[in-house]
């Protein structure tokens, strides 16, 4: 995926095209900064979705193991 942002003298900015800023410039700058942070990961949206699924699965496994451990403690 090609980057849409670059760091300039005034902070992060879009490089994919010119955009007129009307209204909240701070919100625009924050959005561009967040996009740059995402781009810095080097991950695609599909990879992030897969990571999220794997993370959820591992959390469920940990919770199951913790519950089993607690049950064993209570049996002792």
For 7-54, write each residue's pLDDT tens digit. Answer: 777 777 777 655 555 566 777 787 788 888 988 999 998 999 999 999
- Give the span between the Cα atoms of 35 and 28, in whole angstroms: 11
Bridge partners for 5 per DSSP? 14
Q: How many Å separate Cα 59 from the centre of its chain?
A: 18
10 versus 63: the higher-pLDDT residue is 63
Q: Give how far Cα 31 sits from Cα of 17, 27, 44, 69, Å.
A: 15, 6, 18, 44
Better pLDDT: 62 or 32:
62
Q: Where are the domains of the chain?
A: 1-42, 43-76
Q: What is the pTM of this model?
A: 0.56
């Amino acid at each position: 995926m090609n980057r849409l942002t670059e760091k300039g003298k005034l902070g992060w900015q879009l490089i994919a095209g010119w955009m007129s800023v009307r209204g909240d410039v701070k919100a625009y700058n924050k959005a561009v900064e967040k996009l740059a942070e995402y781009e810095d990961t080097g991950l695609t949206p599909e990879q992030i979705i897969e990571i999220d699924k794997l993370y959820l699965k591992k959390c469920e496994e940990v919770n199951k193991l913790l519950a089993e451990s607690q049950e064993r403690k209570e049996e002792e």
